Chain A
Amino acid sequence: DIVMTQTPLSLSVAIGQSASISCKSSQSLKYSDGKTYLNWVFQSPGQSPKRLIYQVSKLDSGVPDRFSGTGSETDFTLKISRVEAEDLGVYYCCQGSYSPGTFGGGTKLELK
């Protein structure tokens, strides 16, 4: 199975600052169709997860452009510019390129 490793485990930021989360996979996530199925999902406290970004960099509908995703092959990054209070919670990267789909351990974004 592909192992997804996220860093850091937690991140303390002030409102208005930027935040960056790294996700590394144990093998390339580029599928045979040329696409890379790396998603980012967000879970706010007490809520179910919600997808923010798919295929590395494509924002889901309604997701603010303060969020951006970059990367390729095995190294990926989620960046949040100008963090807002509603962004606090846990972020997970996950891969759907190969079965079984696997998730990173999560990064908790907290208020400084």
Chain B
Amino acid sequence: EVQLVETGGGLVQPGKSLKLTCATSGFTFSTAWMHWVRQSPDKRLEWIARIKDKSNNYATDYVESVKGRFTISRDDSKSSVYLQMNSLKEEDTATYYCTRGYTDYWGQGVMVTVSS
């Protein structure tokens, strides 16, 4: 059974940092392209980052609104993908989902609230 479990969310002040972790199991992680998608409080979904597999040089891509602030990475030995979020803004407040292959499988999500 495919499982994705996100951790690391919480309440953080604007300008601060947070790192999300997505631990996976039930599939061959090393060949999977992994993504982060977020859902704002008004329920809109937004794709924010993707990392390819080793054969594709772990290439990354980001939505414009997070470029230069967020970094996606992975550890194939731990079947985990990460999202380092720096310089957080109030508009980053959302539930963050880790997904396999854009929308194939989703985790349960983790809430991030950016507020002073």
Q: Could you tell me if A101 and B102 are in contact, using CB atoms closer than 8 angstroms?
A: yes
Q: A90-B43, A100-B47 are in contact. Are A48 and B103 (CB under 8 A)?
A: no
Report the contact-size class of chain B (Cβ under 8 Å from the partner): 20 to 34
**Interface-facing stretch out of A10-18, A23-31, A64-72, A91-99:** A91-99
Check if A102 is an interface residue, CB within 8 A of chain B. Answer: yes
Instruction: Name the interface residues of B66-106: CB closer than 8 Å to any CB of A.
Output: 97, 102-106
Q: Could you tell me if B44 and A51 are in contact, using CB atoms closer than 8 angstroms?
A: no
User: Nearest chain B CB to A60's CB is how many angstroms away?
Assistant: 8
Q: Which residue of A lies closest to B47 (CB)?
A: A101
Other-chain contact of A106, B44, B63, B104 (Cβ < 8 Å): B44
Main secondary structure on A side of the interface with B: strand
Interfacial chain A residues near B63, Cβ < 8 Å: 100
Most buried by A among B44, B45, B63, B102: B45
Q: Could you tell me if A48 and B43 are in contact, using CB atoms closer than 8 angstroms?
A: no
Q: Could you tell me if A96 and B106 are in contact, using CB atoms closer than 8 angstroms?
A: no
Contact with B along A49-85 (1 / 0, CB 8 A): 1110010000000000000000000000000000000
Q: Could you tell me if B103 and A51 are in contact, using CB atoms closer than 8 angstroms?
A: yes
Check if B1 is an interface residue, CB within 8 A of chain A. Answer: no
Q: Could you tell me if B47 and A48 are in contact, using CB atoms closer than 8 angstroms?
A: no
Q: How far is the CA of A96 from the CA of B108 in the complex (A)?
A: 21
Can you name 12 A-B residue pairings with CB atoms under 8 Å?
A48-B97, A49-B97, A49-B103, A49-B106, A50-B106, A51-B105, A51-B106, A94-B45, A94-B103, A99-B61, A100-B63, A101-B35
Give the interface of B toward A (CB within 8 A): 35, 39, 43-47, 50, 61-64, 97, 102-109
Which 3 pairs from chain A and chain B are nearest by CB?
Answer: A101-B47, A103-B45, A100-B63
